[in-house]
């Protein structure tokens, strides 16, 4: 999975399949996982804002907490996530295969 957590423009790289062209399922899965990672990053960011400074994993202003959060979102998304990537992948495949 590429590191597109903060690069929303990276998700715009998919164009509709041309007639007779098969969709690239691996690329679609990668994009879906990147989107889920960004979604999880936003969720965890909101949760981290409520954390206290004495939190061993880092408070809201801790650079280490931010790095940990970034890695956590990548791992969660790559391990199957919360189902967002699967739903997006199914819709992308439908869109790519539509005439």
pLDDT in tens, 21-56: 666 888 888 888 888 888 988 888 888 777 766 766
What is the structure's pLDDT at 16?
A: 59
Helix then strand then coil, in percent of the chain rounded to 5, is 60, 0, 40
What is the structure's pLDDT at 20?
A: 63
CA–CA separation, 48 and 50 (whole Å): 5
What is the structure's pLDDT at 21?
A: 65
Report CA-CA distances (Å) from 24 to 17, 27, 73, 82.
Answer: 9, 5, 24, 23
Average pLDDT over residues 14-20: 59
For residues 9 and 19, which has the higher predicted lDDT (pLDDT)?
A: 19
């Amino acid at each position: 999975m590429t590191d597109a957590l903060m690069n929303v423009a990276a998700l715009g790289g998919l164009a509709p399949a041309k007639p007779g062209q098969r969709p690239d399922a691996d690329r679609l899965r990668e994009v879906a996982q990147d989107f889920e990672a960004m979604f999880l990053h936003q969720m965890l960011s909101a949760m981290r804002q409520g954390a206290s400074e004495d939190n061993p994993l880092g408070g809201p202003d801790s650079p280490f907490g931010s790095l940990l959060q970034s890695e956590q979102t990548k791992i969660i998304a790559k391990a199957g996530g919360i189902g967002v990537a699967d739903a997006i992948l199914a819709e992308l495949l439908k869109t790519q295969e539509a005439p």
